Amino acid sequence: MRLYQNRTMLVVCCPAIGYFFHAHVPEETALMSHIEPRFCSQCGSDQIVNRIPDGDDHLRDVCGACGHIHYFNPKIVVGALPIWEEKILLCKRAIEPRYGKWTLPAGFMEEQETLEEGALRETLEEAGARIVLTGLYTVISLPDISQVYMLYRANLSDLDFAPGRESLQARLFAADEIPWDELAFRTISLTLKHYLADCASGAFPVRNEILRHPARGVAG
């Protein structure tokens, strides 16, 4: 068994089973969206070719031995924008990427959970906070790395919160205290900017955005 690591994920590779993803690094760390398999996950063959299968219109990783098609789908990142008396709860990251930077509690959805369950879980795991969701707020597509962020507005149930194992700190920020230069991801900055603008108007529509990676020459 071998370990491979690149800018987006850690992969444990075993010839008997092909590969599996151990950890995927969120947003903005690279342009690639997946690692090409070295072995077929069905038969173990190393005859993997990148081609367009019959009846398809996308390049896929196809096993030349058994014909199995390895599909890769976008990852959904779900989280919350927790509020307490006009202050926003942020977490200071204790993990890479963006160690020591501030973010909203968010992470990849788990299997067999809903968006709402994921937002509640991530907030509890990263900030030790219990929240009441008040509505889906930002839906941000990151097509260059095949991710979609879905963040909910939420109210803190109480002030009994504390950083989880993936956070160094968890604290409330007033609008004029937000550490803009220390935010971890553009998705978080964009969500916070929308929220502060919407607070002024009193309307909070669902925001549907697309962010391209700066290296592609498109502003995000």
In order, the DSSP letters of the chain are -EEEE-SSEEEEE-TTT--EEEEE--SSS-S---PPPSS-TTT--S-EEEE--TT--S-EEEETTT--EE---PEEEEEEEEEETTEEEEEEESSSSSTT-EE-SEEEPPTT--HHHHHHHHHHHHH---EEEEEEEEEEEEGGGTEEEEEEEEEES-S-----TTEEEEEEE-GGG--GGGBS-HHHHHHHHHHHHHHHHT--PPEEEE---GGGT---
Domain boundaries, given as residue ranges, for the chain: 1-30+35-71, 75-216
Q: Which CATH class is domain 75-216?
A: alpha beta
Q: What is the pLDDT of residues 119-172, one digit of tens each?
A: 999 999 999 999 999 999 999 999 999 999 999 999 999 999 999 999 999 999
Provide the pLDDT for residue 71. 84
Mean pLDDT along residues 61-90: 94
Provide the pLDDT for residue 72. 84
Average pLDDT value over all residues in the chain = 85
| pLDDT exceeds cutoff 80 at 50 | yes
% of the chain surpassing 70 pLDDT: 82
% of the chain surpassing 90 pLDDT: 70
What band does 23 get if pLDDT is binned at 50, 70 and 90? Answer: very low
| pLDDT exceeds cutoff 90 at 27 | no
Provide the pLDDT for residue 33. 57
- pTM to 2 decimals? 0.79
CATH fold for domain 1-30+35-71: Ubiquitin Ligase Nedd4; Chain: W; (2.20.70)
